[in-house]
Structure formats: C-alpha cells, structure tokens
Amino acid sequence: MAGAIAYISRDTDGVAWEKLLTEALGPLDFRRLRDGLGNTDDIEIALAWKPQPGLLASFKNLKMIVSLGMGVDHLLADDKLPHHVAITRIMDDGLVGQMAEFAVYWALWHHRDIAKYAASQKAKKWKPEEFVDSIHRPVGVMGLGTIGTDTAKKFAMLGFPTMGWSRTAKTVPGVETFHGRDALPAFLGKSTILVNVLPLTRETRGLLDKKTFAALPKGAFLINMGRGAHVVDDDLLAALDSGHLAGAALDVFNTEPLPADHPYWAHPKVHITPHMAGYTNPRTASPGVIENIKRLRTGQPLLHTVDPKTGY
C-alpha cells in the first residue's frame, strides 16, 4: 500500500473524504488528527485545514500538502512549513458557486433597499422607495481568481456594470478589468458595491483601509468574503459612522469567532455571517484531489500548485 494520507482538521471528521478517496483509489491508509496519526514517518499526503504550526514539518516523508480550502493563507502562516513539499489547493465548483451566491445576495439586498422595506413592514407602512437602475450601480470585484471571475461574470449577467481588479492583467468577457496598484484608485472610484475576494498575502493584508474606503463613491456598500485581515476594522467603522459607506456585509474577520464585545455585532450598518459564504464540499472538491494523488504516485506534474512567494 502507498504512503498514508493524513486528515488534519479540527472542524470536520474527514469521513466523507475517506469514503470518496477510497472509492476512487482503492484501500487507503487514511488517518485522522483527532484519532491520532500513528507513525508520522508513514505520511505521504496531508489534507490540511489550519494545522498546528510545525506539525506538517514533522512529517519526514511528506510529499504533498492539500489545502482543504481554496485559500492557503492558513498554511503559509506557519513559518516552519516545509517549502520543499508541493502545496496544492482544491478547485471546488460547488464552493465557487456558493461564494458568488453570497455576493449577489448581499448586493441585491443593498441595491433593492430591502432593509427599508423590512422596516416599513414592521411599521405597517406601504412605502415604495425610489429605485436605482442596475445600469447605474457599478459593481467592483477585487480579485479575479476562480471565485472572483465567476462572481464578476454573474454580476455582469444581471446587468450591473461590472469591474474587476487584480494584481496582474486579466481578461474577463463582459467585465472591465484593472490591474496593479496604480489602477486601484480608478477602479475604486467607480465601485458603488465593492466585493472583496482577494487572497490574503503580504501585499493585500490591511488593503481595505481608510484610504481605500475614501476612494469609494459616497454611499458605497462593502461585501467582504475574502479574509478578515484584509480589513482595518477601525477604518471601516469610521467610514460607516461618517456616512461615507452605506453598509458592510462581512463573512470573515480578523479574529474568528468574532469576539462578543466587538463593535460589529451591534453596529446597525454591519451584517455578520460566520464564515459561511462558501464551504468546501468533499463531493465537488474531491475529483481534483484524487487526480493529484494519482499524479503524485505516477510521477506526473501536479495541478493547482501554490507559489509560497505570491501566496496563491
């Protein structure tokens, strides 16, 4: 039997992953962190989500690390991560669709003034609100990877003028694209709804700060489904309190779970969800992982590898 596969996660038990991998690959030496990993010298592959720093480096014969999320910042935060070991990330069409749904939901919620209608219902008032045509509500998507591209395309299909911003030049049909720091002000200046789905890297940490918020049109709405560390919390609260931003839908936070005393909980313009915009679904994520295991064991190039220097 080939080397062991270790499931490193405290959030889920890995039963679904073991079943799917066994069906595709045959009998496996599949080990779970919560059950004990046995002799770690046997471990060849690690399916990992937020592993304890230094744990992966202790696996002497590790050949591939698979991030159980599409982001890899939880791995790269480990300063002992064995960079000679291939790091791959999942490509999960199910998760991609969920993320786009989350962004579209909150954008439409803001666009169609649903909060005002909810207040009118509570007050038993029949009060139509003035409507803004979608053609006059440009949406900006920060990050044009797999998730950002899918999200931008769906906004464009709904008739919103849609823009995308990325570190390097990208082309997306129906989407006006910008790239690089020099183009960021022009992109922000048009974004009445800003959707963040950037990876968390040294360059993007704290990018959503007072300078970024000030560059947005007055009354802009923020949807953050990237990472909490993209946001400078005090700067966002100040932009909301000043009235420059109309609101924010936040799914990710600098500290998770969000502390009970955090100002976001009680802020009338902040809408909180518990990092649920997109969940990894083993059924839709496993085909790519299975393919990479086959490739690893037959000496073929791996798919969806990550460059630790860029963070994606």
Instruction: Please identify every residue annotated as catalytic.
Output: 227, 275
Listing DSSP states for 31-86 in one string gives: EEGGG----GGGEEEEEESSPPTTTGGG-TT--EEEESSS--HHHHT-TT--TTSE
Dihedral sign for Cα 18, 21, 24, 25, please: negative
In whole angstroms, give the CA distance from residue 190 to residue 135.
Answer: 12
Q: 28: phi > 0 → left, psi -120 to 50 → alpha, else beta; which?
A: beta
Q: Let me know: does 227 contact 200? Beta carbons within 8 Å.
A: yes
Residue 7 vs residues 58, 127, 244, 306: alpha-carbon distances, Å: 15, 54, 45, 19
CB-based burial of residue 133 (10 Å sphere; 0-12 exposed, 13-18 middle, 19+ buried)?
exposed
CA 285: distance to chain centroid?
15
Which residues fall within 8 angstroms of residue 241, CB to CB, at 6 or more apart?
Answer: none
In whole angstroms, give the CA distance from residue 51 to residue 77.
Answer: 10
* Of 180, 275, 166, 168, nearest in space to 227 by CA: 275
Amino acid at 227: R
In whole angstroms, give the CA distance from residue 233 to residue 213.
Answer: 12
In whole angstroms, give the CA distance from residue 161 to residue 6.
Answer: 45
Residue 119 vs residues 194, 243, 270: alpha-carbon distances, Å: 25, 19, 16
